[in-house]
Amino acid sequence: MPRTSAFSAHRLSAHPQLHAIASRAYATTQDKKTLVLLGTGWGTTTILKHLDTANFNVVVVSPRNYFLFTPLLPSCTVGTTESRSIMEPIRHIVKRRGKQMQFFEAECTDIDM
């Protein structure tokens, strides 16, 4: 998994391939601002489901490619609920939006403002 050591509004500096891929993906939509979301927790999942992508280029960076509904973890350990019932892959949310969102399985260790 690539480790992203610096993140800024204009470049993903630790892993050059991430910057190149993101630049190609949004080459035709330079007039929109880019929204970078770190992680795939409660906040990111809610934003992805309700965000109007007509106004933003969306880039999600997270070391995990799924959302885990943590309140049901105890139910999984005792067998009441299956683990697949409490996890939602982020790729399903991103696919529903088409090419309007990009997901990178990477880790951000520093933010360059």
pTM for this predicted structure: 0.68
Given a cut of 80, whether residue 3 has pLDDT beyond it is: no
End-to-end CA distance of the chain: 24
pLDDT in tens, 43-93: 988 888 888 888 888 888 888 888 888 899 999 999 999 988 898 888 888
For residue 11, the model assigns a pLDDT of: 41
Residue ranges with strand state E in 1-113: 3-4, 33-38, 56-62, 66-68, 87-89, 101-105, 107-108
pLDDT in tens, 26-48: 555 567 888 889 988 889 888 88
Given a cut of 60, whether residue 10 has pLDDT beyond it is: no
